[in-house]
Structure 1
Amino acid sequence: MIEKVKQVLSVKVKLILDEEKKRELLRLCKAYKDAMNFVFANSFEKGKKDFRTLHKAYYRILRERFSLPSQYAVNISRKTATIYASKNKWEKPPKRKSLSVDLTFNRTFSIKPDKRVVSITTMNGRLKNIPYLGWEKHYEYLQRGRIGDAVLVYDKANKEFFLHIPVEIEVEKQTPQEVIGIDVGEVNTVALVSSKGNKEIVPRTEEYKRLKEKYQRLRQALQSKGTRSAKRKLKKVVGREKRFVESFMHYVSKYLVSKYPQALFVMEDLTGIRERRKVKRKNTEEIRQSNQWAFRSFQTKLYYKSILYNGISPIFVDPSYTSQMCPVCGYTSKENRKSQSDFECKNCGYKEHADIVGATNIMVRGLVEVQNFYQGLFVNQPNALPYGMEQAPTSLSGSS
């Protein structure tokens, strides 16, 4: 029997609507937002905030006061309870700001992937056979995958509606032939070390650095103005910068899964790293780069691409002291790091690029994690390739 591994993807499609249908969906979004904020405001000072309690207290009110169809009233109580449960303590009532609606598959929305149309329940009946546009790859996922509950989102800036649809894809599980430790860097995007002895550093390209500096200057200029129009423009600039970084991370992650199709990638568990990370306060540029470092974005993309394209699920390991520990003798000290890029062990004298050291320690921890499952598959080869930027991508061109 062939073993399968599952991966959930978020497919985004644009709805093709006339003005009348746009007004109908916008009316639904506004009512949904107002209804959820009503529940937040009225339930905050009260006792239990679980789904059953909220549903019993507000279902009838939401149906009558906000004219919402039955399933939307149910979804609001469920979503509200989930948001309350996401934090131990709320200082003030949560507030929904976005114009979006939680849709239930085969209840408030349905889809015909073969015809590329969807139907959505509104406050005034059902809008049927709405055409949608997306990427060709996304059309394929919708055809072959298991579709879940979607989210209808209104893009206020462009006055367009989008559907975010989760799709569960099954891929044939593969047995990895090597373990690769991945160290996400501050200056370089990633460094990697393989159990077969290969080493590589993927730098941030000159184009990446240039555009990041450009967006930083734009943000500083707009923030200093402080006018209403400057704030609107700032929001657009931040959005463009985020999309640019996301695109670069897509490219790098696809580069890695394409180059190492039989690898089990091992990454640091970066939970809470923004709080743990320390930077030198005297250098504001260092602080800015540390705060904006796309820790999670790259890992998320590498994780799902490795499953989707290669059938291998990456794993995460404890990152403690991976940048300070000598991979040769095990001596651990802050003094081993001479600079951001230089590592020299104070005990045995071993020298290497600091990012490569981090990736090596991550790889070894990954080997320990999986040795019971894949005994004998990973052979450490002594003739390791020297790390070198000539092995890395040098531009942002390429599909994601």
Structure 2
Amino acid sequence: MKLVVRVKLLPTPQQASALEATLLICNEAANWLSTAAFARRVASRAGLQTLAYAQLRALGLSAQPALHVLRKVADAYTALGAQPRAGKLGPSKSTSRASAAWKPIRFRAEAAQPFDDRCLSWQMDAGTVSIWTISGRLKGVAFTGHPEHIQLLTRYRRGESDLIRRNGQWYLAATCDVPETDENGRPDGFIGVDLGIVNIATTSTGRRYSGRRLNRRRESDRRLRSKLQQKGSKSAKRRAKKHAGREARRTRDINHKISKQIVAEAQRTGRGIALEDLGGIRERVRLRKPQRATLHSWAFHQLGRFIAYKAKRVGVPIVQVDPAHTSQECSRCHHTDKRNRPSQAVFTCRSCGFVEHADLNSSHNIASRGWQVWGRGAKSVAPALVPAT
């Protein structure tokens, strides 16, 4: 299984200047090549190498960085060509599709640049890297990261690493090929996971990950963001950008913690995990206006992906189930009725009289459906590649 691990670089001011100049030159070269490729209607790696390899070398790039620029541009056009087939650019005559089709791809000045082992070497014991720049090879660039991530890099790093600059900070994102644990082919039942707003996640074992305090914090964040957007000054925009990054990191951290605990419980008890099929969750749920922003701003899909890849690492099977009517169905007698939900938090079955917390009742239904799906021979669902940690 492939994992992408990110570590933070700690360059000196001189090293940071060299890295910044290198990233700038590489992306300027990528933009020049993108314009030439668009004009000549050439997008394959071989075609671009014939077209512009010598010119890229003349811009100051060594052989391997020049090839990486070629591949970056070719891969970008390949991805762009696949988007209409996947329905991601709208109808054939839409403005978004016309805009993408009639102008060359542009790369930001700080867009990530890949480096292979010829351009970048890791000294894990010393906690440093040696990296190619247009000013020469930089040696002894310090890096830091979570001890678990460093261990993964030391044991399983394979292939290229991407140099990233974000909000003035430098990072390296490296791919690790981690051996997979044999999946538990005979799980002792399934833990159902119900996703919600008041409770971010509720499991069929009775654990609720409350979102009340978090929702209050997010409401405060939205008010601040709205004020900054209305003000519109340069300082307000800088503050809004900084604040948005902090909010995204907080969300990611919470999703990591929740997913880790759910997977650990499933592994400890020998069970699998049943998740709701997250596709179209925002369209399926009907909410009052004050609740819509809360639902739409939470990374439900990210939480599902975190649970899936952590489960795959330890051999816990994952299945997805149809979430339709899980909140209205009684987990005891399976009677389904809208009136079974007299309030957001309470479930009362109109048929058998069973009373339970509504989210917990839903999680029991998800667990039951997960066992049924598994019994029909469904395969475990987990991603092949995880975004940078």
Structure-2-length-normalised TM-score: 0.79
Match of 1:314 in 2: 318
1:165 CA displacement? 1.5
Asked whether the 8 Å contact 2:115–2:163 carries over to 1, the reply is: no
Q: Distance between the aligned counterparts of 1:188 and 1:98, measured in 2?
A: 41
Match of 1:303 in 2: 308
Match of 1:73 in 2: 66
Match of 2:11 in 1: 17
1:133 aligns with 2:144: yes
Kindly report which structure 2 residues correspond to 1:57-96, keeping only aligned pairs within 5 A, or say none. 57-64=51-58, 66-84=59-77, 85=79, 86-88=82-84, 89=89, 90=97, 91-92=99-100, 93-96=104-107
Match of 2:121 in 1: 110
Classify 1:56/1:317 alpha carbon distance in 2 versus 1 (closer, same or farther; 3 Å).
farther
Q: Distance between the aligned counterparts of 1:18 and 1:254, measured in 2?
A: 35
Asked whether the 8 Å contact 1:153–1:163 carries over to 2, the reply is: yes
Indicate the RMSD between aligned Cα atoms, in angstroms: 3.1
Asked whether the 8 Å contact 1:180–1:263 carries over to 2, the reply is: yes
Q: Could you list the per-position Cα deviations for residues 3-24 of structure 1 after superposition, in whole angstroms to 9, with x for gaps in the alignment?
A: xxx3x33322222322222221
- Amino acid aligned to 2:316: I
- Amino acid aligned to 1:231: K
Asked whether the 8 Å contact 2:6–2:171 carries over to 1, the reply is: yes
1:188 aligns with 2:192: no
Asked whether the 8 Å contact 1:9–1:167 carries over to 2, the reply is: yes
Match of 1:214 in 2: 220
Q: Distance between the aligned counterparts of 1:145 and 1:97, measured in 2?
A: 31
Q: Distance between the aligned counterparts of 2:355 and 2:31, measured in 1?
A: 58
Match of 2:250 in 1: 244
Q: 2:206 aligns with which of 188, 196, 199?
A: 199
The DSSP-based 3-state class of the residue aligned with 2:83 is coil
Q: Could you list the per-position Cα deviations for residues 104-133 of structure 1 after superposition, in whole angstroms to 9, with x for gaps in the alignment?
A: 431221213233222212224322342222
1:150 CA displacement? 1.2
Deviates more, 1:226-235 or 1:356-365: 356-365
Asked whether the 8 Å contact 1:100–1:151 carries over to 2, the reply is: no
Match of 2:235 in 1: 229
Match of 1:397 in 2: none
Match of 2:159 in 1: 148
Q: Distance between the aligned counterparts of 2:285 and 2:174, measured in 1?
A: 38
The DSSP-based 3-state class of the residue aligned with 1:361 is helix
- Amino acid aligned to 1:11: V
Q: Could you list the per-position Cα deviations for residues 168-224 of structure 1 after superposition, in whole angstroms to 9, with x for gaps in the alignment?
A: 22254353433112121122111222xxxx333322252x23322322221122112
Classify 1:234/1:166 alpha carbon distance in 2 versus 1 (closer, same or farther; 3 Å).
same
Kindly report which structure 2 residues correspond to 1:271-286, keeping only aligned pairs within 5 A, or say none. 271-274=279-282, 276-280=283-287, 283=289, 285-286=290-291
Asked whether the 8 Å contact 1:342–1:354 carries over to 2, the reply is: yes
Aligned positions, number:
357
The DSSP-based 3-state class of the residue aligned with 1:299 is helix
Classify 1:51/1:347 alpha carbon distance in 2 versus 1 (closer, same or farther; 3 Å).
farther
Classify 1:366/1:111 alpha carbon distance in 2 versus 1 (closer, same or farther; 3 Å).
same
1:294 CA displacement? 1.6
Asked whether the 8 Å contact 1:102–1:149 carries over to 2, the reply is: no
Q: 2:372 aligns with which of 360, 364, 368?
A: 368
Give the unaligned 5+ runs of structure 1.
Answer: 1-5, 375-399
Classify 1:259/1:74 alpha carbon distance in 2 versus 1 (closer, same or farther; 3 Å).
same
Asked whether the 8 Å contact 1:336–1:343 carries over to 2, the reply is: yes
1:293 CA displacement? 1.6
Higher helix share: 2
Asked whether the 8 Å contact 1:69–1:122 carries over to 2, the reply is: no
The DSSP-based 3-state class of the residue aligned with 2:207 is strand
Q: Distance between the aligned counterparts of 1:360 and 1:317, measured in 2?
A: 12
Match of 1:162 in 2: 171
Classify 1:62/1:299 alpha carbon distance in 2 versus 1 (closer, same or farther; 3 Å).
same
Asked whether the 8 Å contact 1:35–1:62 carries over to 2, the reply is: yes
1:345 CA displacement? 5.9
- Amino acid aligned to 1:112: Q
Q: Taking every aligned residue pair, what percent have the same amino acid on both sides?
A: 31
The DSSP-based 3-state class of the residue aligned with 1:150 is strand
Structure-1-length-normalised TM-score: 0.77
Give the unaligned 5+ runs of structure 2.
Answer: 90-96, 379-388
- Amino acid aligned to 1:257: V
1:357 CA displacement? 4.0
The DSSP-based 3-state class of the residue aligned with 1:312 is coil
